Amino acid sequence: MSLQRWTERSGSGPAAIAVAGSAADPDVAQALLDRAVEAWGGVDALIVCAGTAEPQGSSILNITSDEFNALIDAHLRTTFEACRVVAPHLVERGGGAIVTTSSHAFTGTYGGTGYPAGKGAVTSLTYALAAELAEHRIRVNAVCPGATTRLSTGDEYLEHIEALHARGLLDDATRHGSLDPGPPEFVAQLYAYLASDLAEGVTGEVFAGAGGYLGRFPRPEAEFLTWRDHHANPPWTLEEIADLLGSR
Chain segment 30-39, per-residue pLDDT in tens: 999 999 999 9
Average pLDDT over residues 220-237: 93
Residue 106 vs residue 152, higher pLDDT: 106
Determine what percent of the chain is predicted with pLDDT higher than 90. 62
Please say if the pLDDT value at position 225 is more than 80: yes
Compute, in degrees rounded to 10, the torsion defined by CA atoms 180, 141, 195, 80. -100
H/E/C letters for each residue in 74-105? HHHHHHHHHHHHHHHHHHHCCCEEEEEECCHH
Q: How confident is the model at residue 160 (pLDDT cuts 50, 70, 90)?
A: low
pLDDT of residue 1: 45
Q: How confident is the model at residue 210 (pLDDT cuts 50, 70, 90)?
A: confident
Please say if the pLDDT value at position 196 is more than 50: yes
**Full-model pTM:** 0.84
Instruction: Indicate if 76 and 96 belong to the same structural domain.
Output: yes
pLDDT of residue 7: 52
Average pLDDT over residues 200-210: 95
Best-predicted range by mean pLDDT among 14-23, 92-101, 141-150, 152-161? Answer: 92-101
pLDDT of residue 152: 58
Instruction: Indicate if 121 and 174 belong to the same structural domain.
Output: no
Of 12-26, 96-110, 125-139, the least confident: 12-26
Instruction: Indicate if 9 and 20 belong to the same structural domain.
Output: yes
Averaged confidence pLDDT in the chain = 87
Residue 237 within a domain: no
> What is the layout of strands, in order, in the sheet containing 206-210?
45-47, 96-101, 138-146, 206-210, 213-217
**Non-local CB neighbours of 100 within 8 Å, separated by 6+ positions:** 48, 79, 83, 122, 125, 126, 140, 141, 142, 143
Instruction: Indicate if 175 and 204 belong to the same structural domain.
Output: no
User: 174, 137, 51: which is closest to 101 by C-alpha?
Assistant: 51
**Non-local CB neighbours of 81 within 8 Å, separated by 6+ positions:** 23, 24, 25, 26, 28, 29
Instruction: Indicate if 9 and 124 belong to the same structural domain.
Output: yes
C-alpha torsion sign, points 223, 225, 231, 234: negative
**Non-local CB neighbours of 106 within 8 Å, separated by 6+ positions:** 116, 119, 120, 122, 123, 144
Residue 91 within a domain: yes
Instruction: Indicate if 73 and 96 belong to the same structural domain.
Output: yes
Residue 99 within a domain: yes
Average pLDDT over residues 37-62: 90
Are 85 and 29 in contact by the 8 Å Cβ rule? The answer is yes
Q: How confident is the model at residue 56 (pLDDT cuts 50, 70, 90)?
A: confident
Instruction: Indicate if 125 and 211 belong to the same structural domain.
Output: yes
User: 58, 244, 36, 24: which is closest to 164 by C-alpha?
Assistant: 58
Average pLDDT over residues 16-44: 94
Instruction: Indicate if 161 and 186 belong to the same structural domain.
Output: no
Q: How many domains does the chain have?
A: 2
Active-site annotation, residues: 115
